[in-house]
């Protein structure tokens, strides 16, 4: 059995590489956007569909590469929630959101901000980025398997170590 700290370090290294490759592809594809604006757009997009991912029937309904969640089912998010989630000043988020609304990427609903399904940049429906993500995810899973981590059961020891470390403080 591997040491819990070794598992944590291994998973951290590989998942960090996955995140950095993903962000790099995002920046490369949307080179005309400021990185902070891309971060805000994708945080809004994630908030919009988190309930879809948590509902098996909705998740199945919108799982096709050609399916796009309609604006009417998107869960809005507030500027304050974005500010807290991204650890950015509220004024920065407010200013950036105003610019993204002007570009018709974000829209304001009664429930909060959404990434519009009709945005001309195809945020949330970019097949090229989705396919690239599949390649990067495949690489992450292959690398973890090569490191001896085949699934969630292999993380149980590390999870226990993380809890005991947190309680020790």
Q: Nearest Cα to 97, choosing from 86, 109, 107, 85? A: 107
Query: Which pLDDT value is given to residue 119?
Result: 94
The boundaries of the domain holding residue 93 are: 4-168
Domain with residue 15: its CATH number is 1.10.10
The mean per-residue pLDDT over the stretch 138-147 comes to: 96
Give me the number of domains the chain comprises. 1
CA–CA gap between residue 35 and residue 43 (Å, rounded) = 12
The mean per-residue pLDDT over the stretch 111-137 comes to: 94
> pLDDT grade, residue 67 (50/70/90)?
confident
pTM, whole model, 2 decimals?
0.85
Instruction: List, in sequence order, every beta strand (DSSP E) within the chain.
Output: 106-109, 112-115
> In whole angstroms, how large is the CA radius of gyration of the chain?
18
**How distant, in Å, are the alpha carbons of 22, 36, 77, 86, 155 from that of 81?**
24, 16, 7, 9, 30
Examine the pLDDT at 5 and tell me if it is beyond 50.
yes
pLDDT over 70 percentage in the chain = 91
């Amino acid at each position: 059995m591997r040491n819990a700290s070794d598992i944590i370090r291994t998973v951290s290294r590989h998942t960090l590489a996955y995140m950095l490759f993903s962000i790099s592809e995002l920046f490369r594809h949307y080179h005309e956007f400021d990185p902070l604006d891309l971060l805000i757009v994708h945080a809004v997009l994630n908030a919009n569909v988190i309930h879809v991912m948590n509902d098996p029937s909705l998740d199945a309904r919108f799982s096709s590469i050609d399916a796009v969640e309609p604006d009417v089912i998107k869960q809005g998010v507030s500027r304050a929630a974005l500010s807290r989630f991204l650890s950015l000043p509220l004024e920065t988020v407010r200013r950036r959101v105003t610019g993204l609304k002007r570009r018709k990427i974000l829209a304001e609903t009664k429930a909060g901000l959404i990434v519009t399904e009709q945005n001309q940049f195809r945020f949330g429906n970019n097949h090229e980025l989705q396919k690239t993500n599949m390649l990067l995810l495949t690489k992450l899973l292959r690398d973890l398997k090569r490191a001896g981590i085949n699934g969630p059961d292999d993380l149980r020891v590390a999870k226990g170590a993380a809890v005991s470390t947190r309680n020790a403080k």
